[in-house]
Chains A and B, each alone.
Chain A
Amino acid sequence: MKPQGLFSRTALVFGLVFLYVPILSMVVFSFNNSRLVTVWDSANSPTLKWYSALMSNDQILGAAWLSIKIAMISATGAVILGTLAGVALARFGAFRGRALLAGMTTAPLVMPEVITGLSLLLLFVALEQTVGYPSGRGPLTITLAHITFCMAYVTVVVQSRLVGFDESLEEAAMDLGARPAKVFFRITLPLIVPALVSGWLLAFTLSWDDLVISQFVAGPGSSTLPMVIFSKVRLGVSPDVNALATIMVLIVASGIVVSSLWMRYQNKRRERDMRLAASANL
């Protein structure tokens, strides 16, 4: 092997170890009996006591449920708005306000969260004073904030998927007399379904994970899961957080395995269909 290849491969292995050791350490210590999170109590471990502690912690369960609800609504809203923006940017050519829309959909990708959070809170306060809506801050304002920063990501995903396809299919349908709405629902939408699915999952994860923006726009009494975790870990490490992390890793890992198996199955089916179509043509 060339020295260059050896060096980059070593870096790759090192990088992957670096990425996974912290996650593995949380999984391992979630089964530790000792309250001292990093000292392995081999006499009484492994134990599931932190998992049962977690399951009876109403504050965490309530916050998790609130976070799931917010993330599902935010992801759905972000996919709808992000798809409209992505279609406009990828398919409508030059239109008035294009630069504005393009700028407003890429800036949130890198905007520091403290700035986004502060500006959205000040907006909600100003809206409450002038129009009286939304009154107070809570799940509604968190959801509105999450839709806004998640839609930027969905826009990028949808736009790059659409740019990857040429417009000939849509143009052909137009030439055959299909109306724009029909073209969108029969041709464009099916083409970008994979982008919508990954955009939704991305938006869900971003919303589910967000701490800083939520902290700014949440009212008293509406604590999302990251807010509860943050206030817990600020006081020091606590073993039931390890258990929570392990459950989340398990869900994500199994989700990824299932989706990659499903994609492999879909690819196989497509290949089989293509072979069938090819043999029918003979």
Chain B
Amino acid sequence: MPRFSAHAGRRIVIAIPTVWLIVLFLIPFIIVFKISFSEVRLAMPPFAPLLEWLDGKLVAIKLNFANYAFLFTDALYVSSYLYSLKVAAISTVFCLLLGYPMAYAIARSSPTSRSVLLMLIVLPFWTSFLLRVYAWIGLLKSNGVINNVLMSLGIIHEPITMLQTDFAVYIGIVYSYLPFMILPLYANLEKHDLTLIEAAADLGARPITAFLRITLPQSLPGIIAGSLLVFIPAVGEYVIPSLLGRTDQLMIGRILSDEFFENRDWPVASAVAIFMLGLLVVPIMLFQHFEKRTLEAGK
């Protein structure tokens, strides 16, 4: 019965990855959500159960909103959420300002140099992210390469403090996420119909006008996709601010892992995660919308 086996085969192909992701991606979020409402206690695991059972009957549901109340009343959490959003937004703008002209230059270069340039953009991504962030410590330190060069050239007379500042975090994020900005922008810019620009020029439009009226609006999907690919992970970034960032103002990813590892307060860490997810739900859904459009564009 070939028809039956084809049908069964299809169902297996769908079922295996779906079940895997339900167990290892979806259910974990439900668990985090659940634990964010429990009370911390000294045990392993260090939280109290939500549901109390007695003789097979549910006798009590202990929903504890204290963890969330804590997030809003403690200035530490509020300020680090706002700080994370600010750092991610500013880094995304810098990334766009640098990545857009780069993607534009690649898309408008000859086909042979295009593939070489794209390879040069992607190549750093294949070397360790952690080590590339670490390299900036050596460059930005007070006695680091940049300060040494500037001092020997006589441009500055005493070292500028760059490490452990917001500036260092912006550099780190732009540096690490630049390929994620360039690739969707390039994919978009490469498809543009250049005759439109020529027509605009023939009709007397200056290049900048043609760019602002034609190229920029057409590249909007690329701009949005690239920006979301940078912004969303940057909000929860942990490694870059830990190595390069300020010690007096922590980002929310660091708060989460400190609550978890240092304070062993799993419920508060879960509440931090759920709240971060709440902030990112709209951008994530927007990203999925654009990702779906590009993936199904070929059809």
Contacts and interface: CB of A to CB of B under 8 A. Distances in A.
B17 A151 contact: yes
Given A38-B148, A106-B291, A12 B117 contact: yes
B86 interface: no
A15, A29, A109, A129 — most chain B CB neighbours (10 Å): A15
B175 A22 contact: yes
Given A120-B28, A122-B32, A180-B6, A212 B13 contact: no
B133 to A, nearest CB: 9
Interface stretch (A50-58, A96-104, A271-279): A96-104
A233 to B, nearest CB: 5
Classify the secondary structure of A's interface with B: helix
A19 B178 contact: yes
A179 B2 contact: yes
Nearest to A229: B130
Contacts of B129: 209
Interface in A105-127: 105-115, 118-120, 122-123, 125-126
Interface in B127-154: 127-132, 134-139, 141, 143-145, 148
A7 B280 CA distance: 34
A23 B98 contact: no
Contacts of B288: 102-103, 106-107
A252 interface: yes
Contacts of A103: 288
Given A110-B232, A120-B28, A122-B31, A115 B127 contact: no
A163 B123 contact: no
Contacts of B211: 4
Contacts of A72: none
Interface in B245-299: 253, 256-257, 260, 266, 269-270, 273, 276-277, 280, 283-284, 287-288, 291-292, 294-299
Contacts of A23: 124, 127, 132, 135
B144 A38 contact: yes
B32 A119 contact: yes
A20 B139 CA distance: 12
A120 B30 CA distance: 11
Q: Give the bracket for the number of chain B residues in contact with chain A.
A: 35 or more
Interface in A9-24: 9-12, 14-16, 18-23
Given A8-B108, A19-B121, A179 B5 contact: yes
Given A114-B236, A252-B127, A159 B295 contact: yes
B126, B148, B269, B292 — most chain A CB neighbours (10 Å): B126
A144 interface: yes
Contact of A209 (B16, B130, B137, B257): B130
B48 interface: no
Contacts of A156: 291, 295
A142 B203 CA distance: 61
B21 A36 contact: no
Interface of A: 2-5, 7-12, 14-16, 18-23, 25-26, 29, 36-39, 81-82, 84-85, 87-89, 92, 95, 97, 100-115, 118-120, 122-123, 125-126, 129, 144-145, 147-148, 151, 155-156, 159-160, 163-164, 179-181, 205, 208-209, 211-212, 215-216, 226, 229-230, 233-234, 237, 241-242, 244-245, 248-249, 252-253, 255-256, 260
19 contacts: A2-B207, A10-B101, A25-B145, A38-B143, A84-B16, A92-B14, A97-B14, A100-B18, A104-B21, A106-B288, A114-B253, A148-B25, A156-B291, A163-B297, A216-B260, A229-B131, A233-B137, A241-B131, A252-B123
